[in-house]
Structure formats: structure tokens, C-alpha cells
Amino acid sequence: MSIPEVSAEPLSTRAVIDGIFAAAATGVLEDVLAWWADDGVLDDVTLTRAFSGKDELRPYLDWYFKALPDLDFTPARVLVEGPYAAVEWAEICHQTGTFDGVPGDGRELRLRALDLFEIRAGLVQHESSWYGDSWFRRRLGSIASDRPPPPPLPRGSSWAEAVVPDERPATTSAETRRVIDGLFAAAATGVTEDVLGWWADDGILDDVSIAQRIAGKTALRSYLDMYYGAFPDLDFKPRLLIVDGPWALVEWAEVCHLSAPFDGIPADGRELRLRAVDLFEVRDGLVAHESGWYGDGYLRDRLELADPSILPMPIPRGRSW
């Protein structure tokens, strides 16, 4: 077993995260489950499915590890604040076994992922997981090859290289929190220029949900105008904020309506339910980078095929839509 001996005090959040990712790298199912509370819940937002308790987690993890055996779950970034942790990872893998009913054929997949954890009494109580984009289902299906993969990790890295470190002085958690509070207050107004006031001139936004990278304020302005125009009833109210030095993770979930064209999809007023996380890097008092996951593996199908039948689950801790 990879889990350390149990001490008199519960393990820290960071120790639990380090332990569960080390166990996941081995693919040994029982070692991973040892880090979970008996009544723990995993929300797979990409597949719009929730797994409650070890009896449901065991078969889910079993087919996940078997379908994608070359994943090693190496964290690219870990944020910790209190009982909450966010882990970003990105890997190339191959589907060699059946994945959620889709037969394995060895195809290559590139997963750009964010896992959000709640730790209680030294065990994982809840995990929410985004590891694909709005084309994930299609890339698994018969027309997989015509859809782009999500962008790689930021700061000059590619899918074959490690993350390039930022050499600027680290931002304090207090400064990061101030910037995020200001940015989200501006986003709630839907005024693009107010939002851009919080961005560095060379800032980069990776929209993982539509597999696009938007670089610099000129491109960001057009993107934000499209986004706010398409979803004018979003108020971007954070439900959870994790701040760790220059990094921040914001979780939000809202009901909205497609009121203007979005990424080439005509508007028809349909209702959408977005379960989202945004990961920020703040430098010199401004946003240097954002990665956003705000949909699930069916979002593109729900937009293009007008099929709202499969919706992401609401956020945890007793809240509903």
C-alpha cells in the first residue's frame, strides 16, 4: 500500500494530495481507494456523472485505469488552502480499453485536466474532475480526428515539454486575492474594458472548453465581447476560491441562456447549466494567465445538437442549481 501509517492527527491536505496522486500513478485501485472516505463522492464533470461511496468509485476507477493505462497523473501545479486543493495536469495517453462504453482502439488522447478536492479527517471527501473539453465525446467517437485537442500548459510549453517556470517575483496570496476579487466584480458587470483592466497586456487565456488559446488584449477583447454577449445573464459569482501564492482557483456554477452567437453557434435562447473552474496566475498585480473549464464533454453537442438532456451535476456541499 502507498498510504503512509496513520498518525494520531489527520494528514494535511497537501499530504493527502501527494499520497493519492502517487497511488494513482501506480494504477493500483485499492491503493487509491485507501485515500478516500467511505462516503466520498466524485463528480466526473466531463462525463456528467457522479460516483458516491466506494462501491461506485471502485468500478469507475477500475475502467478508468484500464482504459488509459499510460496515464501517470503527474501534477503540473498544486494549490492548497485549508481543506481544499486544486491539481492541474496534462498528459498524452492512449485509449486501449473500453472507456464509458466506448471500445478501445489505441487512439491518442490529450487530456488537459483540473481536479478539485475537499479533504476531511485525512481522506478525500469530494472530488470534482474536468479532464476533457467540449469535443471530448467526439474525439472518443467515430469522428474524433477532426476535432482539435485542448491547448497545452502555458508559458511556452508544448505537449512534449515541461512547464516553463516564471522567473518574476512571486505574488503574495493577499495580492492574488485582491486581483481575483476585482476581476470577478468586473466580470459580473459584463463590461469588457473593466475586465481587461485586470489583465496584463500579454496575458493568455486558455479556454479548454472550446480548445482555444487567446493571447493578448486585442484577442481577449473580441473573445470577451463574444462571451458576454452570448451569455448576458451570467454573473460569475464565485462559489469557492482557493489562493496559493500567485495562483488562484475559482469554482462557479450558473444557469444561463444562449442569447447571441457563441463560437459560431447561432443563438436560440436555450438554457445552459455551466459547471466551471478557472485557474489563474497573477503577476505584477495583473492576470498573466487563465485556464477555463466551464462545460463538460457534452457541451458542444448540447450547443450544436440542441440536446439538453444530459446536464452537469450541481456543485457539492448541499447546493443545487
pLDDT at 91: 86
Segment 161-174 shows an average pLDDT of 75
194 Cβ contact partners less than 8 Å away, ≥ 6 residues apart = 186
pLDDT at 144: 47
**Residues 102-114: tens digit of each pLDDT:** 888 888 888 889 9
- The number of beta carbons lying within 10 Å of the beta carbon of residue 81 is 18
pLDDT at 154: 67
Question: Which span out of 88-102, 160-174, 246-260 was modeled with the highest average pLDDT?
Answer: 246-260
HEC secondary structure over 99-133: ECCECCCCCEEEEEEEEEEEEECCEEEEEEEECCC
Residue 87 pairs in a beta bridge with 78, 115
Helical spans, DSSP H, in 34-172: 54-67, 136-140
Which listed CATH number (3.10.450.50, 3.90.1150.110, 3.40.50.2300, 3.40.50.800) goes with 173-304?
3.10.450.50
> Could you tell me the CA-to-CA distances from 17 to 20, 32, 88, 125, 275 in Å, in that order?
5, 11, 12, 12, 23
What is the chain's mean pLDDT, rounded?
A: 85
DSSP string computed for 189-245: HT-HHHHHTTEEEEEEEEEGGGTEEEESHHHHHHHHHHHHHH-TT-----SEEEEET
pLDDT at 80 over 50: yes
Q: Which residue has the higher pLDDT, 216 or 209?
A: 216
pLDDT at 28: 93
Supply 164's cell numbers.
Answer: 516553463
DSSP three-state, residue 62: helix
Sheet holding 108-120, edge to edge: 49-52, 36-44, 123-130, 108-120, 84-94, 77-81
**Residues 59-71: tens digit of each pLDDT:** 999 999 999 999 9
Q: Which residue has the higher pLDDT, 58 or 208?
A: 58
Give CATH 3.10.450.50 domain extents, the chain. Answer: 13-146, 173-304
pLDDT at 301 over 90: no
Q: Which of the four pLDDT bands, split at 50, 70 and 90, describes residue 141?
A: low
Segment 88-117 shows an average pLDDT of 88
Sheet holding 212-215, edge to edge: 212-215, 199-207, 286-293, 271-283, 247-257, 240-244
DSSP three-state, residue 91: strand
Q: Which of 35-39, 76-80, 209-213 has the lowest mean pLDDT?
A: 209-213
Name residue 142's amino acid: S
Q: Which of the four pLDDT bands, split at 50, 70 and 90, describes residue 266?
A: confident
Q: Which of 11-20, 106-115, 247-256, 305-314 has the lowest mean pLDDT?
A: 305-314
What is the CATH code of the structural domain delimited by 13-146? 3.10.450.50
